[in-house]
Amino acid sequence: MPDPVQGGILIVDDTPNNLRFLSTTLTEHGYKVRSVTSGQMALTVAQAAQPELILLDIKMPHMDGYEVCQRLKSSSRTQEIPVIFLSALDEVIDKVKAFNVGGVDYITKPFQLEEVLARIENQLDLRRAKAEVQTLNAELEHRVRQRTIQLEHEIAERQRAQDKLLHLALHDSLTGLPNRTWFMKRVGQVLDRARQHGSYLFAVLLLDCDRFKVVNDSLGHLAGDQLLVAVARRIETCLTPGTTLARLGGDEFTILIDDVANLEDAISVAERIQQDLRMPFQLGQYETFTNVSIGIVLGGKQYEQPEHLLRDADAAMYQAKGEGKAGYRVFDSSLHKRAMARLELETDLQRALDRQEFVVHYQPIVSLHDGSLSGFEALVRWHHPRLGMIPPSQFVPVAEETGLVVPIDLWVMRQACHQLRLWQENWERSHPITMAVNLSVQHFIHANLMAEIDDILTETGLSGRSLRIEITESAIMKNAEFATVILEQLKARQIQFSIDDFGTGYSSLSYLHQFPVDGLKIDRSFVSNIQARDQNLKIVQTIIALADTLNMSAIAEGIETHQQLALLQSLGCEYGQGFYFSKPLAADEAADLFQAPQPWPLSS
Ligand code: C2E
Ligand code: MG
Ligand code: MG
């Protein structure tokens, strides 16, 4: 059986004349035509090969056109085929029924050729247009599907790029650890939690590598980087779940321990890390060691800002570092208060010189042979506008650390030299008296000390012989080589020199006899505890003998009682200074001493 012809027009009519006429005419007009004479045949043919259009006679025996049309419409294979009904003029065509069963048009007999062609062409056009719309729709759908896939791909790509950026923004590129930003966010989160659940505790540890700078400077930055990575990896192995390590920058790391029961939990983490870091690190061919100093803070709802935790951990870490390497220290709030007070003092100290808040007091130095005034020691005092009088023991160490001690010392020296010069002009004396000034020597290492001293002497007109410099024994021993240079220069100017607080600084005898020293000031701690037949007495006795041997004078500090004075005199101590004679005095009070002929009548 040949393949049924697809497409074309199917004519269904039981009247052979009609069939022939339509078939011939349509064929002549170029249509492909098939014809059948019954409804049953029409259904069979249409199922086998769908025509593009069916011309269907209504009135037929056995099965009329309406029923044929209904059946065509109920099958999925044929339901789309347009059906034009054919009816005789004298028949009453039930148009409503014709459309209800699925017909699209009708033609009445006898056929008007133009009308038939026009209606057929109309339906075929419509059908073609529908088909075209369908193809376009299908194409569009396909394109939409393609584009959707493409967009999904692009979105995923963009998401990946965004994730990468986010990762970069929150991580340290060297170690791959979370960075400071990430860490602070995380601390913010646990703080929120602490505020919601009052009993919730967490811990922040701040770790700073000891000796890292040494490795970096000696082996180079590349090795330094390697060491940081190795340290990070080793610390990670000490951490339990719920604990996160981040790199703050440089050689500083930080750890957040989520949900700790107590301080001991945090301490045991710190101890474990320090224990593990004791093993050496292999950097290429070098084996090197580093450990960390750790500051620990227990965090809870009392903290308001994440930064405050880091600040306190930092303060504790610095304390740990100050107490020696590879230690840890737990923060307590007194540490913060102390740090704040210290900071305030530093700031105020900066302004004190400009605001002329310093004054110099003068403590007499007395000859223990005859009670005569041999000189003064200039001692600085700070009149703080809010805190009142601050003793040098509290602010000199701060001034030394900040470097402010240099201008302060020079100011005191200028003041004291000027004062002595005034006294010399007012009171001619048989015995020349000296002015002793304290210097914090280590800060003059890079400064132009001698030129400054020369300026002061020239400015005030005081002779070098009248000036005496005091430097503490410990400061000299720390800078022994440099001190030798300074002392030579002082000697060249006839400026005298005493070692202050002698006996406390472990002087090496070999140095001592090299130095051109004029006096040893026996530290107050020996003098105040001096008693007959006791250890201190022997020490003082030894110092006096040493001074005598080296051709220096001994000056006893802190004489407070008559008994101390008597003992010192019996040991042959040359000079003395202390509350027994006088406290440090303001300049006008000190001036009174010049008028008294014998302020301290001693029985020697
Ligand atoms: P120093 O040079 O050993 O000064 C002696 C200290 O002992 C002074 O304390 C003085 O007031 C105190 N003193 C004297 N006699 C007695 C006594 O009988 N009993 C007691 N308890 N104390 C006595 P001050 O003025 O508080 O000075 C403390 C230290 O501060 C000084 O020790 C000195 O090292 C340093 N200092 C003072 N003024 C200056 C300065 O202008 N520059 C530098 N760099 N340091 C200074
Ligand atoms: Mg002194
Ligand atoms: Mg002293």
pLDDT tens, residue by residue, 305-328: 999 999 999 999 998 998 888 899
pLDDT value for 444: 67
Determine if ligand 1 sits within 6 Å of the CB of residue 396: yes
b/e sequence 156-192, b meaning 16+ C-beta within 10 Å: eeeeeeeeeeeeeebbbeebebbbbebbbebbeebbe
pLDDT value for 1: 36
Q: What are the structure tokens assigned to 147, written together?
A: 């584009």
Fold of 180-331: Alpha-Beta Plaits (3.30.70)
- Site to substitute for ligand 1 among 376, 379, 441, most atoms within 8 A of C-beta: 379
pLDDT value for 547: 95
10 Å CB burial of residue 242 (0-12, 13-18, 19+) is exposed
Look at ligand 1, atom 11, and give the residue with the nearest C-alpha. Answer: 584
Q: Are 66 and 58 in contact (CB under 8 A)?
A: yes
CA–CA separation, 35 vs 24, rounded Å?
11
pLDDT value for 156: 95
Give the nearest ligand 1 atom to 361 CA.
Answer: 25
Distance 559 CA to ligand 2 centre (A): 14
b/e sequence 275-294, b meaning 16+ C-beta within 10 Å: eebeeebebeeeebebbbbb
What is the pLDDT averaged over residues 342-356? 90
Determine if ligand 1 sits within 6 Å of the CB of residue 439: yes
CATH architecture assigned to 9-135: 3-Layer(aba) Sandwich (3.40)
Look at ligand 1, atom 10, and give the residue with the nearest C-alpha. Answer: 584
| CA distances from residue 201 to 278, 328, 452 in whole angstroms, order as listed | 29, 20, 57
Pairing of strands 328-330, 373-384: unpaired
Name the one residue in this structure whose structure tokens are 């900071």: 343
Residues with CB under 5 A from ligand 2 (ion): 438, 470, 500
CA–CA separation, 122 vs 106, rounded Å?
12
Determine if ligand 1 sits within 6 Å of the CB of residue 473: no
- 3-class DSSP state of 384: strand
pLDDT value for 447: 67
- 3-class DSSP state of 566: helix
Give the nearest ligand 1 atom to 559 CA.
Answer: 18
Determine if ligand 1 sits within 6 Å of the CB of residue 4: no
Q: pLDDT-derived band of residue 455, with 50, 70 and 90 as boundaries?
A: very high
Q: Residue 421: pLDDT above 80?
A: yes
Distance 466 CA to ligand 3 centre (A): 19
Determine if ligand 1 sits within 6 Å of the CB of residue 579: yes
pLDDT value for 418: 97
Q: Residue 185: pLDDT above 60?
A: yes
What is the pLDDT averaged over residues 166-178? 93
Q: Residue 530: pLDDT above 80?
A: yes
For the chain, how many helices (H) and strands (E)? 21, 21
For residue 497, give the ligand nearest its CA: 2
CA–CA separation, 550 vs 553, rounded Å?
9
Distance 382 CA to ligand 3 centre (A): 18
| pLDDT per position as a tens digit, 102-127 | 888 888 888 888 888 999 998 889 98
Look at ligand 1, atom 5, and give the residue with the nearest C-alpha. Answer: 557
Q: pLDDT-derived band of residue 355, with 50, 70 and 90 as boundaries?
A: very high
pTM higher than the cut 0.85 = no
Determine if ligand 1 sits within 6 Å of the CB of residue 280: no
Same topology, domains 9-135 and 344-595? Answer is: no
| pLDDT per position as a tens digit, 3-51 | 344 689 999 999 998 899 999 999 999 999 999 999 999 999 999 999 9
CA–CA separation, 473 vs 522, rounded Å?
10
pLDDT value for 44: 95
Mean residue pLDDT of the chain comes to 90
- Site to substitute for ligand 1 among 360, 406, 438, most atoms within 8 A of C-beta: 438
Return the beta strands (E) in 473-589 as ranges: 496-502, 519-522, 553-556, 575-576
Look at ligand 1, atom 41, and give the residue with the nearest C-alpha. Answer: 380
Bridge partners of 54, per DSSP, are 10, 83
CA–CA separation, 456 vs 305, rounded Å?
52
Pairing of strands 105-109, 83-88: parallel
Distance 556 CA to ligand 3 centre (A): 9
Range with the poorest average pLDDT among 63-72, 253-262, 477-486, 552-561:
477-486
Bridge partners of 364, per DSSP, are 376
Determine if ligand 1 sits within 6 Å of the CB of residue 397: no
| pLDDT per position as a tens digit, 132-158 | 999 999 999 999 999 999 999 999 999
CA–CA separation, 375 vs 553, rounded Å?
14
Distance 476 CA to ligand 1 centre (A): 17
- 3-class DSSP state of 359: strand
Distance 379 CA to ligand 1 centre (A): 6
Distance 364 CA to ligand 2 centre (A): 12
Q: pLDDT-derived band of residue 2, with 50, 70 and 90 as boundaries?
A: very low
Q: pLDDT-derived band of residue 475, with 50, 70 and 90 as boundaries?
A: confident
pLDDT value for 603: 64
Q: Who has greater pLDDT, 203 or 401? A: 203
Domain positions in the chain are: 9-135, 180-331, 344-595
What is the pLDDT averaged over residues 344-355? 91
What is the pLDDT averaged over residues 539-565? 95
Determine if ligand 1 sits within 6 Å of the CB of residue 392: yes
| pLDDT per position as a tens digit, 485-523 | 889 999 999 999 999 999 887 777 777 888 889 999 999
pLDDT value for 529: 86
Q: Residue 413: pLDDT above 50?
A: yes
Give the nearest ligand 1 atom to 380 CA.
Answer: 38
Q: Which residues contact 2 (CB under 8 A, 6 or more apart)?
A: none
Look up the CATH number of domain 344-595.
3.20.20.450
